[in-house]
Chain A
Amino acid sequence: MNEKIKRIMAKSFEVPIETINDNSTKDDIESWDSLHHIMMVVELERAFAINIPDERVGNMISYNLIKSIVYECFETHI
C-alpha cells in the first residue's frame, strides 16, 4: 500500500518514483501545486476506492500525512 501511494504521488506530480521517499513534503516537489494535488487526491480515491473528505484534502502536505489519511479513510471504508 505504501509503495502504491508513492507511485500515485510520483505519477500525479510527474516526477520519478525515486523522488518520493518517506520524508517527502510539498516543499520538496516543485510541481506540487493545487492542480497536481487534486490529481493525486482523485487518483488515490480511485486506486483505494475511498472518499477523502474535503476537510482532510488540505492536510495532505507530505508523504507521511498522505499515508495516514489514506489508511484512515481505507479503514473507515471497510
Chain B
Amino acid sequence: MNVLKHIFKEKITGRYVTLLKVSVHDAEDIYRWRTSKSGEFLHQPLNYSVESQRKWITSRTGEEINYIIYRNDLMEKVGMVSIYEVNYEDMVTNVGRLILDEKYIHNKTPYGLESLLITYDYAFNTMGFRKITGVILGSNVKVYELQKYLGMTQEGYLKAHVMISDHLEDLYIMSLFSDEFTGYSEKLKALLR
C-alpha cells in the first residue's frame, strides 16, 4: 500500500483532558512519573536520568508522537500517552506508554481512560490507522482487563520477556481493529460522567 505519511496533530482535546505534544520542558515531570510508583509497569532504561529523558525527547522522529495529558479545568499535567512504532505501509501503530502522575492514579475523574480513548479515536478516525497494537505486562491485570473492556483482544503472550525492576515479566500482546472500536461515544457516555 502506498500511503503518504501523515503529520500528527500536536493537540487533541477531550471533555476532561487535552493532549499536547511533549516538549523538552516536560523531561523533569516524565522522569518523576517514571521513577515513582506510577512507573512500576514500565521498562526503565539503564542509567535513567532527567538528562537522558531530555535527550530521548529531542531524539524523537516523526514516526511517533508523545503527548502530555493536561486536565482541562486547571491545565495541570496529569501524565503521558503515546502513539509510536507507526507503520504507514500497513497502517498499524502502537498506542501506549500511558503513565499518570501518582496523584491522578485513583481519581474520580477518568483522565487516564479518556486519554486512551481520544488517542484511539484520533489514531483510527483521523489518522486512518487500521489496527492498534499494545503490550501489557503480565502482572498489570487491571490494565489488561481495562483494554479488553475497551475492545482489545489478546493476540499473543510472551513468557518471561522483559526485565522490570530486576525480575522477568510476561507480556500480553493486544490489538484493536478500527472496525472493532466501539468508540469514544458509547463507552464514554457510560464511563466518563
Contacts and interface: CB of A to CB of B under 8 A. Distances in A.
A55 B108 contact: no
A38 B106 contact: no
B142 A39 contact: yes
Interface in A22-40: 26-27, 30-39
A51 to B, nearest CB: 12
Contacts of B146: 35, 38-39
B107 interface: yes
Given A38-B146, A42-B149, A33 B110 contact: yes
A30 B193 CA distance: 17
B113 interface: yes
A contact patch SS: helix
Contact of B193 (A32, A42, A58): A58
Interface string A37-48: 111011000000
B187 interface: yes
Contact of B110 (A34, A55, A56): A34
Give the most central of A27, A42, A55, A57: most B CB within 10 Å.
A57
Interface of B: 105-108, 110, 112-113, 142-143, 145-146, 148-149, 182, 186-187, 189-193
Given A33-B110, A35-B113, A58-B190, 18 more contacts: A30-B106, A33-B105, A33-B106, A33-B107, A33-B108, A34-B191, A34-B192, A35-B142, A35-B146, A37-B191, A38-B145, A38-B149, A54-B186, A54-B187, A55-B186, A55-B189, A57-B190, A58-B189
16 contacts: A27-B108, A33-B105, A33-B106, A34-B112, A34-B192, A35-B142, A37-B191, A38-B149, A42-B145, A42-B148, A54-B182, A54-B187, A54-B189, A55-B186, A58-B190, A58-B191
